[in-house]
Amino acid sequence: MDLLKRVGQSLGTTDWMKITQQQVDLFADATGDHQWIHTDRARAAGGPFKGTIAHGYLTLSLAPVVIGQVLQIRELTAALHYGLNQVRFPVPVRVGSQIRATVSVMRAEQKTAAVEAVFTLTYEIDGEKRPACVADVIVLYP
C-alpha cells in the first residue's frame, strides 16, 4: 500500500467547508448536547464568542470527510475508525465560518489483517491564526 511510503508527509488540504447552524443543531440533537453556546443564537450573541459556536466534536466528526478528500485507496473494502491518540481544540469554530483541514501521515504499518494508519488532522479556520482542532486519528484499512 502506498500509504506505507507516505509516513511523515502531508497528503494535502481539503476544500473549505462552511459550518452552519443547521449542522450544529442536528449535531446537538444527535448527541444531546444542547448547551446554549451552540444552539441559542440570542443568548450566544451576548456570550463570550458573540454568537453560536460548533461543538468541538462536530469539527472532529468531519474526519472521514477530511481524510476522504485527500486520500484515495484503490480496492478499499472498508475504513474502520479505530480511535484517537490526542485531540485538542485551541480555538472555537464560530457558526458561519469556514474550516479546512490538512492531513499528514504520522504513522502507517502493516498489521496481520490490515494497515493501521495514524493521521494528524489540523483544522484551520479562515482568518484565524491558531487551529480549531488538531487530532491524531487512527484508521484501519483491512
pLDDT over 90 at 10, yes or no: yes
Q: Is 90 within the bounds of a domain?
A: yes
Mean pLDDT of 12-23: 98
For the chain, how many structural domains are there in total? Answer: 1
* Residue 23 placed within a domain: no
pLDDT score, position 43? 98
Residue 32 lies in a domain: no
Q: Per-residue pLDDT tens for 70-79?
A: 998 777 778 8
Per-residue model confidence (pLDDT) at position 7:
94
Let me know if residue 85 belongs to a domain: yes
Partners of residue 115 on adjacent β-strands: 110, 141
Find the CATH number of the domain harbouring 107: 3.10.129.10
Record the cell numbers describing residue 50, joined without a space.
458573540
Q: Is residue 64 within 8 Å of 81, Cβ to Cβ?
A: yes
Q: pLDDT tens digit string along 90-123?
A: 999 999 999 999 999 999 999 988 899 999 999 9
Which amino acid is residue 36, in one-letter code?
Answer: W
- Predicted TM-score of the model (pTM): 0.92
